[in-house]
């Protein structure tokens, strides 16, 4: 082989090696560029996701602030005096104040933020209607006060609990045993002897509940009984919420309400509260006159100044001598009658109704012997409708400023009314047909007090006295279900707050976030009153 041929072969070999190296470099460059591009894309997607996350987090915080605004709006409203509250539209059904309230305005509907305050319409037996307002906790059964019912009626606590749909005597007694302070089981109840055998064992509370959910620790109480079909806890039964199959096995032989009744769908939680309380003061917030005051001179002066000499003398005479049960003919009480204020008080009033239909025998100035006076407050419903609103509004036989546990007869659902001790079933039917649809809309002053049952002739005076420890037309603690949301897209925050208006300004007693259960209502529904 010639030298020139060898040179050409050598050049070709070197050229192939160079080309191979160049191809490898090109491949490496392509791979590197691809990896860089992929890394850049991943980084961009990560940054985009991060931005979306930050944006969503910010919008979620905004939605929470919107919900908090709704709680504050409700708290402000119930802090007002009764006149101002009425001028604002009230707390019961007030779309102007509670429906689709714009808090954050924007040109973009995605950034316009609102709150709505929603409550179930308890007049709908199928629990599918709402109103824009608050719930009066006195329209529910205060579970922590049921033991008091035993003081006024035999097995009163059990009677009250048996009103709950699907309730049975063994579960009712178990709840009462969970609440009472002793370890002695009731007839059908359960105490430490039962709970100590469980795995793991635990002791009954033997005291007031801190949350309604604590009832799940009581023997026989199940989630289906407590919450019914209302899985998202919005207070109504949505289309996708169905009757719990586990309730089919409930023994209802002793229950007042069959579990197939629509009221069962909402569960016991809809009818229970830990916070039912009412102010025992006048509408302007000033103290009522305590008719059981030991200072009869001050009591007489207060009554004389506000209501005249006849009422003042009669009430002081009752406190001194009690109701007259003799046979002497009474004479009318006149304005010139002045009681002997040196005589001490010997009788206490159980309620202001003790003054109705009774005569008094009392010592008066200018007379040597006691004088019998005819009733100043006649036992006649029509006459009582004229004086009872004034008496109930301004006087009390209980010096406590706050009363707990009584059920509001103007708002409570029928199943709770049927369970009130000493409440005849036909009276419940009368209440449901006669009470106002909106408890704030009735101008008749009698309907602002539980004694309208008497003035309307639904019950006798004695029956009204027996009902007084259990019923009211008041309530000063409210539940607010507030949804903070955007007009389009975006997250929503739903909270539940218990607002106590027994103090001024009102305070939030309890707050919890229900957002994990969903918004609860469509935006269209939340904007109905807008």
pLDDT at site 480: 97
pLDDT at site 252: 47
Q: What is the mean pLDDT of residues 316-322?
A: 95
Q: Residue 301 pLDDT > 50, yes or no?
A: yes
SS3 329: coil
The residues, ordered by sequence, that sit 6+ positions from 12 with a Cβ below 8 Å of its Cβ are: none
* Cα–Cα separations (whole angstroms), residue 426 to 423, 439, 473, 484: 9, 21, 19, 43
pLDDT at site 23: 60
Q: What is the pTM of this model?
A: 0.86
Q: Residue 177 pLDDT > 90, yes or no?
A: yes
Q: Residue 279 pLDDT > 70, yes or no?
A: yes
pLDDT at site 530: 44
pLDDT tens per residue, range 476-486: 999 999 999 99
Q: What is the mean pLDDT of residues 195-204?
A: 93
Mean pLDDT for the chain?
88
Q: What is the mean pLDDT of residues 445-458?
A: 96
Rg of the chain on CA atoms, in Å: 35
pLDDT at site 152: 86
pLDDT at site 40: 75
SS3 178: helix
Most confident option among 15-19, 23-27, 102-106, 440-444: 102-106
Confidence of residue 420 (pLDDT cuts 50, 70, 90): very high
Look at 34-48, 147-161, 288-302, 415-429 and tell me which has the smallest mean pLDDT. 34-48
Give the span between the Cα atoms of 421 and 378, in whole angstroms. Answer: 26
Q: Residue 255 pLDDT > 70, yes or no?
A: no
Confidence of residue 32 (pLDDT cuts 50, 70, 90): confident
pLDDT at site 15: 61
Long-range contacts of 201-206 (CB under 8 A, 24+ apart): 204/177, 204/178, 205/178, 205/179, 206/178, 206/179, 206/180, 206/181, 206/182
């Amino acid at each position: 082989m010639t030298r020139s041929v060898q040179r050409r072969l050598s050049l070709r070999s070197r050229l192939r090696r160079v080309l191979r190296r160049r191809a490898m470099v090109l491949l490496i460059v392509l791979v590197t560029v691809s990896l860089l591009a992929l890394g850049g894309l991943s980084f961009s997607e990560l940054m985009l996701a991060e931005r979306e996350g930050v944006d969503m987090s910010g919008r979620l915080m905004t939605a929470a602030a919107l919900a908090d605004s709704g709680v504050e709006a409700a708290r402000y409203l119930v802090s007002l005096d009764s006149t101002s509250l009425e001028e604002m539209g009230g707390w019961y059904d007030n779309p102007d104040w509670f429906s689709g309230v714009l808090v954050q305005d924007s040109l973009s509907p995605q950034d316009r933020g609102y709150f709505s305050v929603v409550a179930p319409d308890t007049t709908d037996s199928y629990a599918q209607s709402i109103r824009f307002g608050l719930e009066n906790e006195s329209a529910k059964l205060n579970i922590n006060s049921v033991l008091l019912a035993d003081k006024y009626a035999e097995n009163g606590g059990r009677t009250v609990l048996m009103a709950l749909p699907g309730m049975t005597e063994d579960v009712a007694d178990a709840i009462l045993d969970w609440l009472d302070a002793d370890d002695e089981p009731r007839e059908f109840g359960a105490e430490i002897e039962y709970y100590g055998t469980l795995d793991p064992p635990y002791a009954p509370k033997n005291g007031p509940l801190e949350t309604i959910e604590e009832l799940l620790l009581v023997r026989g109480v199940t989630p289906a009984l407590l919450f019914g079909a209302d899985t998202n806890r919005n207070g109504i039964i949505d289309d996708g919420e169905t009757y719990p199959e586990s309730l089919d096995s409930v023994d209802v032989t002793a229950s007042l309400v069959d579990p197939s009744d629509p009221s069962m769908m909402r569960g016991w939680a809809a009818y229970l509260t830990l916070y039912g309380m009412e102010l025992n003061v006048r509408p302007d917030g000033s103290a009522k006159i305590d008719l059981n005051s030991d200072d009869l001179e001050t009591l007489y002066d207060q009554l004389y100044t506000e209501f005249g000499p006849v009422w003042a003398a009669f009430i002081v005479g009752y406190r001194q001598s009690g109701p007259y049960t003799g046979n002497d003919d009474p004479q009318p009480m006149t304005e010139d009658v002045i009681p002997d204020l040196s005589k001490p008080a010997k009788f206490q009033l159980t309620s202001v109704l003790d003054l109705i239909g009774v005569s008094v025998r009392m010592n008066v100035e200018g007379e040597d012997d006691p004088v019998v006076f005819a009733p100043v407050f006649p036992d006649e419903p029509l006459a009582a409708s004229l004086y009872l609103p004034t008496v109930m509004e301004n006087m009390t036989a209980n010096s406590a400023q706050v009363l707990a546990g009584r059920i509001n007869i103007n708002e409570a659902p029928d199943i709770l009314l049927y369970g009130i001790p000493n409440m005849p079933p036909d009276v419940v039917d009368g209440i449901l047909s006669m009470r106002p649809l909106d408890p704030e809309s009735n101008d008749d002053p009698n309907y602002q007090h539980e004694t309208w049952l008497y003035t309307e002739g639904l019950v006798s005076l004695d029956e009204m006295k027996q009902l007084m420890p259990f019923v009211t037309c008041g309530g000063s603690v409210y539940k607010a279900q507030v949804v903070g949301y955007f007009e389009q897209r975006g997250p929503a925050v739903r909270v539940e707050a218990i607002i106590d208006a027994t103090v001024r300004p009102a305070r939030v007693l309890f707050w919890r976030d229900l957002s994990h259960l969903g918004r609860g209502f469509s935006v269209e529904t939340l904007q109905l009153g807008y």
